[in-house]
Each structure stands twice: as structure tokens, then as C-alpha cells.
Structure 1
Amino acid sequence: MARGTMRYWAAAKAAAGTHEEPFDAGTLAEAIEAALARDGRGADFARVVGRSSFLIDGDPVGGRPHGSVELPEGGVVEVLPPFAGG
């Protein structure tokens, strides 16, 4: 298990109701599951997260299965929803 910070941007921030929060998880999938399970999070948050891209300490996760992405101690997970424009 690693402890770190999840940061939300744009629509993910609005749906989460916060800019950032701590995580305690071994993998990205576990961190996402914990974030989805937090009280007050509804279907809108799940939809946004389901369409989001992720960076871990600035490195893109890309198409890797989230369960295979181990989180580093003190790491930062950025949740980036799709953005309009380019």
C-alpha cells in the first residue's frame, strides 16, 4: 500500500467536489475504487472518472490496465477528464 494524493482537474474536480484528496492504495485501480466509494459521489463522478486519463507523478498511464499500475509512496495521481479543443 502506498499513500499519496489524487488531484482532480476540470469536470473531475467539479464532480468530486474537491481539488485533491489523499489515497491509500497499492494500484491505480484500488485508488479509483476508493474514490468512487466516497460518500456523496454519484453517477456523474463515475462517468467522468471512467472517461478520464491518468498521470502518475507526471507520467501518463495510457492504455495499461489500472490494476497493473502500482502507485509509489508519496505519489500524485492526476485525474484528467477529456478536454475540448487542442
Structure 2
Amino acid sequence: MRPHGTIRYWAAAKAAAGRAEETYAAGTLDDLLEQVRRKYEGNATLLSVLKRSSFLVNSTPVGALPHGEIVLEPGWTVEVLPPFAGG
């Protein structure tokens, strides 16, 4: 059984998704992002933003770690942080 948690969209990701957050059941960050891509497969704007975004898992930056190695524990929170203009 995959643990449930919340994905939060910020800035351009929030605008493209049309919502600030939603819940999913996912075991890894890669699993979660694949579910989001499937749900929004017709939303080219959000898919593009996801490719450029960085992620926080429970307030910890993911950085360059492979998304398949980022395990999501029950009650996880993933923040989608698109690049911000102006540094």
C-alpha cells in the first residue's frame, strides 16, 4: 500500500494546475510525479513547469537525487517549486 500525502504547487505550477494542492498515494517521488503527469497529460503548461521545477520532500530539498530513490513516508508533503524570476 502506498502512503498518502499532499503535493503543493507554487507560483507557475499553481497557476497551471489550477489549484494549490491535492492528495495522492505514492511510494516514491518518481511514482508521484508520474501520477501527476498522467492526470494532467493534456496540460502542456503544467508538464513543462514540472520539468523545470525543483522539489522539497517534507521541507528537504531533493536536489539532483534520482526521484525513484526518494521514498515518501506516510503523511508526506511534496512542494513543487518552479524557477522564480529575479533570483
| TM-score where L is the length of structure 2 | 0.93
Aligned runs of 1:53-68 on 2, under 5 Å? 53-68=54-69
| TM-score where L is the length of structure 1 | 0.94
Query: Among the aligned pairs, what percent are the same residue?
Result: 52
Q: Deviations over 1:45-79 (max 9, x none)?
A: 11000100000110000000111110111010000
Determine if the alignment matches structure 1 residue 34 to structure 2 residue 42. Answer: no
Partners of 2:41 and 2:62 lie apart in 1 by: 27
| Structure 2 SS opposite 1:67 | helix
Q: Runs (4+) of structure 1 moved beyond 6 Å?
A: none
Partners of 1:7 and 1:39 lie apart in 2 by: 15
Q: CA RMSD in A?
A: 1.2
Aligned runs of 1:1-86 on 2, under 5 Å? 1-38=2-39, 41-86=42-87
